[in-house]
Chain A
Amino acid sequence: MSVCPPYAPFFGFGGVASAMIFSTVGAAFGTSKAGIGIAGLGTFKPELIMKSLIPVVMSGIIAVYGLVVSVLIAGGLRPNDYSLYAGFIHLGAGLACGLTGLAAGYAIGFVGDSCVRAYVHESKVFVAMVLILIFGEVLGLYGLIVALIMNSRATEAPSCT
């Protein structure tokens, strides 16, 4: 067993891909579910559409988290001198960010849909909606923080001698 086997970059690239893929799935779910509610609201009160697009913007930010982590991990990949330790770290970081983004997008979708429909009838729901959406988005932020912490440990990987 060598410290730097040739299949080590597989895990690194898997981390890059999973960060982008899973966070995008979460963001797509959040956008579409909230969009259904906004389409329902738009038929009754079109002047509220600008405010009710906030769940969609928050879903976009979940995808931005995944994008930033992908770019961050991809910047640390090497063709040579890449240990399996660094590969596993990058895979873990990508999965942490991606799957928490999936969870956050899921939450934002459901909350956005039902709160936007309730906003038609009661305007005080808006503040509650923004608060709940912020708590949902912070889940993705936690995953990004863990991915950052894990990725910073990859620099102390052993060299391949």
Chain B
Amino acid sequence: MSEQTKVGASAAQAVEQGGIFAKLLVFAALLAIAPIASYFLSKDYLWDGNTVFAAITAIIAANAVLIGYIIVSIREERLGTTARGPAESKKNR
């Protein structure tokens, strides 16, 4: 019985790690692409060739990715503790 719970726990861990890995990959790609893309796109379409405003837009995009990552990581931790809380109380019973 304990072996089955161990296998179940490691499978759940593998799924959890796959989800975290996907999130991290998305944020890494966003951090690489969003600032440069926003620089060039805003320079041509928003600011009419003004490079200073385009650079400021790129900086805002990079910091938006950072703030998004902080929010996602805090929410992930909250979800993790509430999911583990009821499971642990069931085990204690």
Contact = CB atoms under 8 A, between A and B. Distances in A.
B73 A60 contact: no
Given A54-B73, A60-B31, A65 B59 contact: yes
A68 B58 contact: yes
B55 A51 contact: no
A4 interface: no
A143 to B, nearest CB: 12
A148 interface: yes
A47 B24 contact: no
A84 interface: no
Interface string B64-91: 0110011011101100100000000000
Contacts of B72: 50
A50 B51 contact: no
B66 A50 contact: no
Interface string A35-69: 00000000000011111011001101100110111
Interface residues of B, number: 28
B77 A50 contact: yes
Contact of A51 (B51, B52, B63, B74): B74
B24 A75 contact: no
Contact of B52 (A50, A54, A58, A148): A148
A144 interface: yes
B31 A69 contact: no
Contacts of B73: 50-51, 53-54
Contacts of A64: 31, 35, 58, 62
A61 B62 contact: yes
A53 B77 contact: no
Contacts of B51: 72, 75-76, 151
Contacts of B70: 54, 130
